[in-house]
Structure 1
Amino acid sequence: MASGTKDCDSDSGKEPDVSLEVSNIAGNASSDVKAFVTNPLWIANSGTSFAIKIVKNIVVTEVSILPKNEEPLKKEARVVCEIAVTEDMLNGGGKIHGGCSATLVDICTSYALIAYNMAVIGEPTPSVSQAINMVYHSPANLGDKLKIVSTTMSVGARAMSARCEIWNTSQHKLVASDIVIRLSYDTPRLSYCKYIYYCRFIYSDTSVRGSAHPPGKILTWLVV
């Protein structure tokens, strides 16, 4: 994300130009959708949030809104992320911890569902995980490069689901696969413009990792 900040008038609905910030992300999703998905503050809004180091290392490489192969009249969101296995992701045997893989799946499927809701519905739908059905196929070692492919399955007003595969591009193996079911919950409304401005302001300040500028109520409803 850019280090500079830019104010905007929430009453006018004018949104900041974020196209340059996401120009390196593939996919046909709009720049605004890509910017929203790649901002880590809606997942972790403080420097002490769970797995914040892992979240910060996730790189989104593609955000697409595509017709479903089985039903072209329906849309699906596809989000591709990459991350390298670091020491704090390992279990006692020196392989990626199963809980870490589940965390990656939970976060990256959230990206896909947020992208779908932003593109199709026009606003994010905050949700919490109800079920995470993991299948582990092969281990990943320290330094291995992982490619995480998340695709939405069904998105309703209350329940939504997505599937995910974690591929080890260093060893050309499938590490884990998963289906996630999430439930939405009622939240206060917040204009997209105001959200983007506030997130950019907080994220641009290194004190986000401390407590000099606590995110406060504006981001509370977006934390999942």
Structure 2
Amino acid sequence: MLFFRKKNTETVPPADLLAFMTTDIHSHLVPGVDDGVPDVATSLHFIEQLQAMGIRKIITTPHIMMDRYPNSAGTLTDPYQQVQQELLRKNSPLPFHFAAEYYLDEQFVPLMQQPLLTISGNMVLVEISFMSAPPQLAQWLFDIQAAGYQPVLAHPERYGYYHANIPQYEQLKQQGCLLQLNLLSLTGYYGKHVQQAAEKLMAAGLLDLIGTDLHHEKHLRAIAGIAKNTKLRKTLEAYPFGNAAL
């Protein structure tokens, strides 16, 4: 009896899939510190996959959310260095740095008494509640800028309470906040309403930066799946995201 090896029909993403992004500024690749990768091996695997898809620099951003993930430079440095050492051992040329994704609430304010972890220069990645808009948001954005930082709001398209109010996004920009799109939002990964909000923000030219927000294998597979969407790839490649300058 003859046995035939099952043909692998899985799509291999092209090497230039994420070349338009150049630098990924939003991911969760410091092992064991939040809801991202659990160990060094997974971190290395994800980094290698991103590099294979065209990413040339990674600034990973573990959560700093004091109620759930009370991280700091002190708690993040050791696990980050474990990954960095393995990259060096493998002679990886990919620059890999860490910053943070700060959750804006009352417990964030004292954190500004110490230097914040920035994604580039003075840029600080922040997120807000998915449930309701914090009434103090304008004040927090002002305080961040008064402390010498540039706030970058992570995945604004995922805050459902803003979806019916595009001028609110314009107001955030007027308040000095940059907007960072999640790559998978444009694929419908987070739902149709998030996809539509992302498309509206892109059409209005309100987005400044883009990131994978990579946490786990399911995200990685969904990112690779973009290879099949020629129209989306052309749209992404045509938009003037500022990642290449970081």
TM-score by length of 1: 0.29
Larger Rg over CA atoms: 2
TM-score by length of 2: 0.27
Task: Looking at secondary structure, tell me which structure has more strand per residue.
Answer: 1
Task: Looking at secondary structure, tell me which structure has more helix per residue.
Answer: 2
Q: Per chain length, whose mean CA-contact separation is higher, i.e. which structure has more relative contact order (CA < 8 Å, sep 6+)? A: 1
